[in-house]
Amino acid sequence: MSSEETPPAWAASVAQAEHDVQVAGELRGMGYFDACLVYSEQAAEKMTKALWMVRHGHAAPRTHAVGRLLAALEAPETVVSAGHRLTRRYFASRYPAMVSGPPCATTDAQEADAALADAEEVIAWVRTLLPAA
């Protein structure tokens, strides 16, 4: 494949983000609410990092702080908050403190639905700012 045919790196990140949010929805449907939180955050993180690549011409910082990335990209406050909540849930579900039980036992459908909604809000905002692939 020539360099002209190589898709931009940000487009791969978008494709993976769109895949991840689909997986998050499937996991929620299967009752794996904690895993839904992880994939919801990953979808928003990859989408946000795609926009970072477009805006800055280099890879985004190695961080899961989606809200901070979105704030740096001058996202609206509601979008920043959605990204921030995704990161909160991600750490609680992926790196559990186990203080009140494992995430698989403490995460409910309501939290999973909220995570999916937050991911979709971030993705929708980013999508409006990306160039055509």
Partner 1 sequence: MGTHAPAGSMSPPLQHQDPVIAEFMERLLPKVRQAFRPQVVVLFGSRVHGNGDEWSDLDVLVVSDQFLGHGVYERMWRFDAATDRPLDVHPLCVTPDEFRAQAEQPTIIQEALRTGIRII
Query: Site residues (CB under 8 A) for partner 1?
Result: 61-63, 65, 67-68, 71, 80-81, 84-85, 88-89, 91-92, 95, 97-100, 103, 106-107, 111
For partner 1, the closer CB: 117 or 133:
117
| Closest distance of CB 1 from partner 1, Å | 33
DSSP 8-state assignment for residue 31: T
Query: Could you give the C-alpha distances from 64 to 5, 6, 40, 49, 98, in angstroms and in order?
Result: 31, 27, 12, 10, 20
Comparison of 5 and 77: residue with beta carbon closer to partner 1: 77
Q: Of the two residues 16 and 81, which places its CB atom closer to partner 1 in the complex?
A: 81
Q: Are 90 and 37 in contact (CB under 8 A)?
A: yes
* Cβ pair 49, 123 in contact under 8 A: no
For residues 48-84, one letter each, b for 16 or more C-beta atoms within 10 angstroms of the residue's C-beta and e for the rest, the string is bbbbbbbeeeeebeeebebbbbbbbbebeeebbbbbb
- Minimum CB–partner distance for residue 89 and partner 1 (Å): 7
Give me the least distance between CB of 22 and partner 1, in Å please.
23
* For partner 1, the closer CB: 105 or 133: 105
- Provide the minimum distance between the beta carbon of 97 and partner 1 in the complex, in angstroms, as a whole number: 5
